[in-house]
């Protein structure tokens, strides 16, 4: 349990301390004092190294002595603690962020701000659910009319709002302490988690459409309600708990979708930030309307429009549920939900939603519609436009707006679209040898590192390593928006040998290749192809996020230009500059490389 507390402490530091940027020496000592296991130490060091003042912390003799003492006691390699403060040797693999200190400093806040805004938006969506929206005027009136004076009413409402936030943060803390927070990193690729989220969102979507109601056991609500009658701060807290439990049938699906989204962001920090922001969005109206009760008069009355919102979200839940099923399908290579099938399902879902928005379909809880409101008509028009936008995707159109959510363009019944005339698979490199397949943007690529390296030696070209994943959204963005760009695609097709290493591929390795390795002091079983490439990335490059691109000489050593990723190279010009710097370094070391490669290609 103690090591779970370290994870929670680290998450809280990362969430509530990330915008302050620095971690004090005193806080660092306090964190190290609760370390008791190998994992504790790794988590603590990772957190301290993420601070903007990491070099100052690493230069502190007391902290360094404490880290060394713990490392020796627990027999853990924490060389990374000293790596940042020593000059890198000429043979060290450079980090692309070393030349971009300002970008590096902004990366983490940006990502957490993204999580905050997404979760905050989800909280506001939950507010307009039929289970929550009518509670706002009722609760505010309760506090303002039942309190002895307005000041006390405002105080009680503030406590009520704060309690809502605390309840959601506690829920996030429970997930972290029980170890579920660590599983969030696996949710984006693990087949069972993705199937679970698919079923959960699909069922929640049907619930929003009115097929049935999902409610927590009545005994839970009744127990919390009985505590709410006690009054005082404790009573107000349990009133907030009653709201959270009673509104679960509406907020539960949104929270489930939020957790699914956080599985892409990953980590305990993202979870804690998300739960804090979600609770804050739910709490703000109760607090603000208590301070400014006159605003209640401007609130729209509850009615049939709330059910329209609920149904609209239900269709979205069902559509996005298939993203998780697609991740499971591509990870396991079942080829059940290929690109054309996925797009066809979305066309059917959004087409049905369009009919509903225009009143052509009525669902169980709908009120009779005599006239369409302007807002509903406009939303219906947007849904129709989006449905028509999806149609060309069946014939290979790239669908750049939503491409990150779709299966890769080469994971299809007919790469290039129905009829094979689309842009998805159009054109490819002249190289096509055993072990290659048509990859992103029509580039011919290997999926096995050893075969790719052998071929790179044969044709005397640099090796372009693409650490990617079937369930990686940012990988799809790079492959759709950067790879096909003029100035980039020509290099990928003609000047390098591409190998795509899927870190989430669940194809089992032969028994002779299965083994257990130690990575950063932790044992990891290598059972699947994805495990093998994950271990390679973490061992050689100390990273576990995708996409990551590396260029190597044909002898397997890295070309000293650092690696590229989505965060720093999502602009095609930046990626092209990085790619061409690698090609230049290759030519300087091997001036005859290009000519030799062309000769080999002609022979093939």
Decide if pLDDT at 14 tops 60. Answer: no
Q: Which residues contact 169 (CB under 8 A, 6 or more apart)?
A: 272, 275, 276, 279
Least confident of 24-33, 82-91, 511-520: 82-91
* Domain covering 436-603, topology: Glutaredoxin (3.40.30)
96: pLDDT confidence band, cut at 50, 70 and 90?
Answer: very low
Distance of CA 352 to the CA centre of its chain: 28
Longest dimension (CA), the chain: 92
Q: Where are the domains of the chain?
A: 2-86, 106-301, 436-603
Would you state the pLDDT for residue 146? 56
Instruction: Answer whether 395's CB lies under 8 Å from 418's CB.
Output: yes
Which residue, 411, 419, 532, 420, is CA-closest to 472?
A: 411
Would you state the pLDDT for residue 545? 76
Report how far residue 317's alpha carbon sits from residue 324's, in angstroms, rounded to the nearest whole number. Answer: 11
| pTM of the model as a whole | 0.57
Report how far residue 424's alpha carbon sits from residue 91's, in angstroms, rounded to the nearest whole number. Answer: 39
pLDDT in tens, 544-596: 778 899 999 999 999 999 999 887 898 999 999 999 999 999 999 887 654 44
User: Dihedral sign, CA of 299, 304, 310, 312?
Assistant: negative
What is the rounded average pLDDT for all residues in the chain? 74
Report how far residue 578's alpha carbon sits from residue 99's, in angstroms, rounded to the nearest whole number. Answer: 12
Would you state the pLDDT for residue 464? 97
pLDDT in tens, 274-306: 788 888 888 887 777 766 665 555 555 545 666
Phi, psi of 428 (to 5 degrees): -160, 170
pLDDT in tens, 31-52: 777 776 666 676 677 677 766 6
Strand 522-526 relative to strand 515-519: parallel, antiparallel, unpaired?
antiparallel
Which residue, 36, 32, 37, is CA-closest to 10?
A: 32
71: pLDDT confidence band, cut at 50, 70 and 90?
Answer: confident
Rounded to 5°, the CA angle 207-138-216 comes to 35
pLDDT in tens, 502-547: 988 888 999 999 999 887 677 888 999 998 998 999 889 888 778 8
Burial class (CB within 10 angstroms; exposed 0-12, middle 13-18, buried 19+) of 227: middle
| Residue with the larger pLDDT of the pair 167 and 133 | 167
Decide if pLDDT at 430 tops 50. Answer: no
Decide if pLDDT at 232 tops 70. Answer: no
Q: Which helix (H) or strand (E) holds 565?
A: strand 564-565
108: pLDDT confidence band, cut at 50, 70 and 90?
Answer: very low
**Alpha helical stretches, state H, 22-128:** 25-33, 38-50, 54-58, 61-74, 80-83, 101-127
Report how far residue 204's alpha carbon sits from residue 187's, in angstroms, rounded to the nearest whole number. Answer: 19
Decide if pLDDT at 343 tops 50. Answer: yes
Instruction: Answer whether 452's CB lies under 8 Å from 463's CB.
Output: yes
Question: Encoding tokens for residue 311?
Answer: 């149904």
| Residue with the larger pLDDT of the pair 564 and 62 | 564
Axis crossing angle, helix 248-265 with helix 267-291, rounded to the nearest 10 = 140
pLDDT in tens, 357-396: 999 988 887 777 778 888 889 999 999 999 999 999 998 8
Section 241-266 average pLDDT = 55
Would you state the pLDDT for residue 38? 67
pLDDT in tens, 124-161: 777 765 456 556 655 665 555 555 566 776 777 788 78
Would you state the pLDDT for residue 560? 92
């Amino acid at each position: 349990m103690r090591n779970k507390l370290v994870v929670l402490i680290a998450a809280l530091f990362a969430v509530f301390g990330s915008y302050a940027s620095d971690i004090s020496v005193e806080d660092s000592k306090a964190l190290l004092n609760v370390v008791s296991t190998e994992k504790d130490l790794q988590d603590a060091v990772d957190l301290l190294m993420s601070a903007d003042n990491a070099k100052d912390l690493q230069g502190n003799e007391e902290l360094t002595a404490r880290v060394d003492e713990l490392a020796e006691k627990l027999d853990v390699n924490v060389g990374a603690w000293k790596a940042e403060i020593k000059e890198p040797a000429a043979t060290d693999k450079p980090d692309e962020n070393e030349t971009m200190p300002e970008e590096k400093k902004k990366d983490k806040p940006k990502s957490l701000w993204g999580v905050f805004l997404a979760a905050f938006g989800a909280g506001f969506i939950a507010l307009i659910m039929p289970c929550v929206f009518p509670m706002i005027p009722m609760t505010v009136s309760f506090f303002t009319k039942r309190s002895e004076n307005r000041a006390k009413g405002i105080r009680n409402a503030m406590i009520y709002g704060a309690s809502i936030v605390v309840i959601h943060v506690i829920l996030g803390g429970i997930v972290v302490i029980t170890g579920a927070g660590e599983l969030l990193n696996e949710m984006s690729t693990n087949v069972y988690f993705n199937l679970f989220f698919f079923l959960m969102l699909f069922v929640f979507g049907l619930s929003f459409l009115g097929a049935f109601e999902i409610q927590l056991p009545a005994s839970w609500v009744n127990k919390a309600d009985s505590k709410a009658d006690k009054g005082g701060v404790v009573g107000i807290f349990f009133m907030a708990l009653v709201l959270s439990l009673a509104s679960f049938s509406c907020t539960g699906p949104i929270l489930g979708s939020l957790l699914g989204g956080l599985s892409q962001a990953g980590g305990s920090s993202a979870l804690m930030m998300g739960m804090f922001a979600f609770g804050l969005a739910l709490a703000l109206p109760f607090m603000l309307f208590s301070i400014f009760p006159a605003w209640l008069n401007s609130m729209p009355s509850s009615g049939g429009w709330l059910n329209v919102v609920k149904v609209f979200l239900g269709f979205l839940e069902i559509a996005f549920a298939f993203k998780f099923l697609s991740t499971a399908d591509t990870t396991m290579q079942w080829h059940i939900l290929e690109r054309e099938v996925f797009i066809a399902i979305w066309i059917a879902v959004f087409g049905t939603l369009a009919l509903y928005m225009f009143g052509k379909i009525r669902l169980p809880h709908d009120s009779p519609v005599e006239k369409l409101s302007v807002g509903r008509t406009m939303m219906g028009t947007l849904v129709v436009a989006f449905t028509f936008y999806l149609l060309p995707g069946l014939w290979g159109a790239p669908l750049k707006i939503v491409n990150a959510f779709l299966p890769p363009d080469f994971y299809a019944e007919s790469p290039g679209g129905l009829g094979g005339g689309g842009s998805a698979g159009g054109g490819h490199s002249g190289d096509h040898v055993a072990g290659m397949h048509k990859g992103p943007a029509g580039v011919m690529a290997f999926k096995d590192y050893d075969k790719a390296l052998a071929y790179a030696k044969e044709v005397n070209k640099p090796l372009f390593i693409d650490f990617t994943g079937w369930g990686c959204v940012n990988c799809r963005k790079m492959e759709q928006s950067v790879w096909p760009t003029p100035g980039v695609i020509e290099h990928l097709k003609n000047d390098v040998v591409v190998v795509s290493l899927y870190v989430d591929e669940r194809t089992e390795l032969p028994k002779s290749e299965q083994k257990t390795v130690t990575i950063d002091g932790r044992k990891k079983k290598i059972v699947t192809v994805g495990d093998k490439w994950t271990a390679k990335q973490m061992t050689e490059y100390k990273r576990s996020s995708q996409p990551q691109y590396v260029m190597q000489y044909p002898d397997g050593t890295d070309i000293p230009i650092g690696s590229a990723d989505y965060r720093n190279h999502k602009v095609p010009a930046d990626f092209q500059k990085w790619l061409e710097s690698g090609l230049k370094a290759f030519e300087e070391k091997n001036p005859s490389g290009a000519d030799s490669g062309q000769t080999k290609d002609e022979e093939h």
